[in-house]
Structure 1
Amino acid sequence: MAEEDGVRRRDFINIAAVSAAGVAGVGVVIPLVSQMSASADVLAASSTEVDISAIQPGQAIKAVFRKQPVFVRNLTPKEIEEANAVDVASLRDPQTLAERTKEGKENWLITMGVCTHLGCVPLGAGEGENRGEFGGYFCPCHGSAYDTAARIRKGPAPKNLEVPAYEFTTDTVVKIG
């Protein structure tokens, strides 16, 4: 019977030691993992809301998303028609206007304002800026020209202006990111 008591005590000590080590391990891992998560200022910069109520057809504005410019453009029916008239197969980076906009909101084109060649900021979002020969955006650094759907048409840029993830939270507010 003395042997049975010894075995039981040893089992209890082993279980207690493993449990204490497990609790200590969790106590070390939780702070390590939580310090790797994004801080509040980083989470706040992960999305931005833009009020689009004042943007008239044919106008564009510049906003900031993740410290980079974003172009929000209200296309006119004529600009939409011009974009849809382009033979998509002839484009370097083939995309239709419908693929670059949200269904039911085809007049709102939202793109990153960073040229896909070397990262310059194209002109065309501000009043009176050069929109290039295709009426969209023009990158003054190396001459890339984008059409009204922000698709590359001429110059060294390899791709269209990037369309970030976005959603319409209301009819007049867009959440980017």
Structure 2
Amino acid sequence: MKDDFILGDSALHQRLCAITEILGKFVATAPRPLSISQLTESTGRSEKELVKLCAGLARAELLQPHMAQVPGHWALTCAPDLVTLEDVFRCAMAEHPSEQALSTKAPAPSERHTQRLHRDADLLVTQAAMAINQSVFQHLRQFSLDRLNFSTSVPFPSGSASRYSSRRPSLSL
């Protein structure tokens, strides 16, 4: 049986699922914060994994530490209906190691011509990947995580949406 994954990568697919699950928990409880222990209990994921995921979501400005006095608590930074699968995909891509980063071996001098051809091919593939990613972002932006059915949602305070919209980069095709 063939497994189907977004862009054919099972590791990226697993990250997408994990981030969607975690953000879904925050969307369901917004504007209330969640603790790492609450996330551990509800997801079954390790505390170490959850801390890493929440830190990545904070770098993407989707989560923020709730209060300095209560470490390990995180809160959504925007209205729940503004969190989309595009945000999830961007976070997963930001944390996903690229093949270039994994290969740090310097080429031998006799391979310089081959290296230039590889660099040109890498540039072309990078340009194609950027175009594909923009198309993927455009489609994923249409899916808000508030579509997940949660009955525990509380209305998010108004005024936070403007912070979010200034955070989101504009994609022009």
Bin the TM-score by the shorter chain: under 0.3
TM-score by length of 1: 0.22
TM-score by length of 2: 0.23
From the CA coordinates, give the structure whose radius of gyration is larger. 1
**RCO (CA 8 Å, sep 6+): is it higher in 1 or 2?**
2
